[in-house]
Amino acid sequence: MANSECTFITIKPDGVPRGLIGDVIKSFEHRGFHLVALKFMQASENLPKEHYLKDCPFYADLVTYMHSGPVVAMIWEGLNVVKAGRVMLRETNPVDSKPGTIRGDFCIQVGRNIIHSSDSVESVENEIGLWSLPEELVNYKSSAQDWILE
Ligand code: UDP
Ligand code: MG
C-alpha cells in the first residue's frame, strides 16, 4: 500500500535552538502526513559517522555539527512521503531552495541547513534502524486520514 510509505526526518542541532521544531512538524502535519515516531535526543559521535558517507570533503565538520546538540528524529508516514519530504525540504544548499520550502524559508547556508530527510525508500529502513526509531513506533489510526486520502 503506497500510503504505508515512511520517511525519516531529523531536525538538526541548529533547528532546535532556532525554534524551528514546531514549524517543521507543522509543515508535515498540515500537508497530511501521519506522525508515527518522534524522539528528542542527543546523537553520539558515532551516529552521524555511520549515517553519512565518509568520502565527502565536509565529513568531519558534518559529524561535529550533527552531534553538537539535541535533534528531533521522526518517522512520518503517508502517500509518496519520501519524495514529498524531499520536495518540501528542497535543495541541500538553501541558496537554491525557493521560499515556501523548509530550507528556503528557514536557513541560508549548506552547513547549517536545519533538517534531514531520507533520499530514497531504500535508505529509510537503514536510517531509522541506525537512529533506533523502530522502538518508538506508535501504531494508531488518525480519523483525518479519511479526509486526506480517497
Ligand atoms: N553538506 C555540507 N556541505 C556541502 C554539502 C552537504 O555541509 O557542500 C551537509 C549538509 O548538512 C547536508 C549533509 O551534508 O544536509 C548531507 O549531504 P547530502 O548531499 O546528503 O544532502 P541532503 O540529503 O541533506 O540534502
Ligand atoms: Mg542526503
Find residue 73's DSSP bridge partners.
10, 39
Ligand (nearest to CA of 10):
1
User: Mean pLDDT, the chain, as a whole number?
Assistant: 97
pLDDT class of 134 with cuts at 50, 70, 90: very high
Q: In percent, how much of the chain has pLDDT > 90? A: 97
| Residue of 62, 88, 101, 126 to test ligand 1 pocket, by largest number of atoms within 8 Å of CB | 62
Tell me what pLDDT residue 39 has. Answer: 98
The Cα–Cα gap between 88 and 100 comes to 8
CA 149 to centroid of ligand 1, rounded, Å: 32
Tell me what pLDDT residue 1 has. Answer: 45
Grid look-up 515512511 returns 6
Please tell me if the CB atom of residue 111 comes closer than 6 angstroms to any atom of ligand 1: yes
Q: Which amino acid residue places its CA nearest to atom 25 of ligand 1?
A: 92
Mean pLDDT of 1-14: 88
Angular region, 78: left φ>0, alpha ψ -120 to 50, beta rest: left
**Are the C-beta atoms of residues 6 and 134 closer than 8 Å to each other?**
no
Tell me what pLDDT residue 101 has. Answer: 98
Tell me what pLDDT residue 4 has. Answer: 84
Report the atom number in ligand 1 closest to the C-alpha of 119. 23
CA 115 to centroid of ligand 1, rounded, Å: 10
Does residue 51 have an active-site annotation?
no
Task: Tell me the pLDDT tens digit for each residue of 12-51.
Answer: 999 999 999 999 999 999 999 999 999 999 999 999 999 9
Tell me what pLDDT residue 36 has. Answer: 98
Identify the DSSP state of 101.
Answer: B
